[in-house]
Amino acid sequence: MDKYDIKKAYKSLYSPSAKDFSLVEVPELAYIAIDGHGDPNTSTEYAEALEALYPVAYTVKFESKKSLGRDFVVGPLEGLWWADDMSTFVTRDKSAWDWTMMIVQPDWITDDMVAAAVDKTATKNAADKKKLAALESVRGLTLAEGICIQILHVGSYDDEAPTLDRLHNAYLPEHSLDFNGRHHEIYQVPWSG
């Protein structure tokens, strides 16, 4: 059985250049997601969101393989970020940030399958006497982001400000573009090859 891999299916979205901004068309994609607010470095809510997302993602994967005979690679963590004042991303006022953390799902995964995976994860964790505080907040989410600008940032999250400043205050105005959605990040684990 071949494993579906979102990073291979949509290589242009998951392998951007680190040198230049590029224009991409992002198709409608489905995710499991959880919303929150605040500094991801200090927010308990953020840590609890990640603790809930991964077990659900793997439960969906194993149930898809078992029930449908369709296997897939669990996608990377992704995040939507926004604030009432988008300049807080350049100034790094993380306490003002809202976020949706998410993991992309293949198109055959339904909201009912996600809900069943949340229930199964809750049952398993209850048996293991673990409480995942944010588990019941995990939900299905479909996004159709359309035309987007992307670039690969290499390095610490706290070093993103110059890249975001260049995007917000140079690239977008120079190309007569404006925000049409939330700031979307895809987190890639370094390859140690």
User: Mind listing the domains of the chain with CATH numbers?
Assistant: 3-186 (3.20.80.10)
pLDDT at 1: 61
Q: Do 56 and 138 contact (CB within 8 A), yes or no?
A: yes
Consecutive 10-residue averages of pLDDT for the chain (193 residues)? 89 90 94 95 94 96 96 96 85 90 96 95 82 92 93 83 87 89 83 38
What is this structure's pTM?
A: 0.90
pLDDT at 190: 53
pLDDT at 191: 42
Q: Do 161 and 61 contact (CB within 8 A), yes or no?
A: no
Can you tell me the distance from the alpha carbon of 167 to that of 150, in angstroms, rounded to the nearest whole number?
A: 9
pLDDT at 86: 80
Can you tell me the distance from the alpha carbon of 146 to that of 181, in angstroms, rounded to the nearest whole number?
A: 10
pLDDT at 66: 96
